[in-house]
Amino acid sequence: MDQLRETLKGHQLRTTTCREDVLSTFITKKNALSHGDLEGALGENYDRVTIYRTLKTFLEKGIIHKVLDDEGLRYALCSHSCSEEKHQHDHIHFKCSECGETNCIENLHIPAVQLPMGYQAQNFNLLIQGTCPKCS
Give the binding site for a copy of itself (CB under 8 A): 66, 68-70, 73, 92, 94, 97, 105, 108, 110-133, 136
What's the start-to-end Cα distance of the chain, in Å? 36
Residue 135 makes contact with Zn ion by CB under 5 A: yes
CB nearer a copy of itself, residue 18 or residue 68: 68
Residues 90-119 that bind Zn ion (CB under 5 A): 96, 98-99
| Interatomic CA distance for residues 24 and 22, integer angstroms | 5
**Contact at 8 Å (CB) between 35 and 52?**
yes
Residues 17-76 that bind Mn ion (CB under 5 A): 76
CB nearer a copy of itself, residue 11 or residue 95: 95
**Contact at 8 Å (CB) between 4 and 17?**
no
Q: Min. distance of Cβ 20 from DNA in angstroms?
A: 9
Helices 17-28 and 35-42: crossing angle, nearest 10°? 110
The one of Mn ion, Zn ion, a copy of itself, none whose footprint includes residue 94, by CB under 5 to 8 A per kind, is a copy of itself
Number of residues that bind Mn ion (CB under 5 A): 2
* Cα torsion angle, 77, 81, 87, 92, sign: negative
Using CB under 7 A, list all residues that contact DNA.
Answer: 9, 13-19, 34-36, 45-50, 52-54, 56-57, 72-73
Amino acid type, 83: S
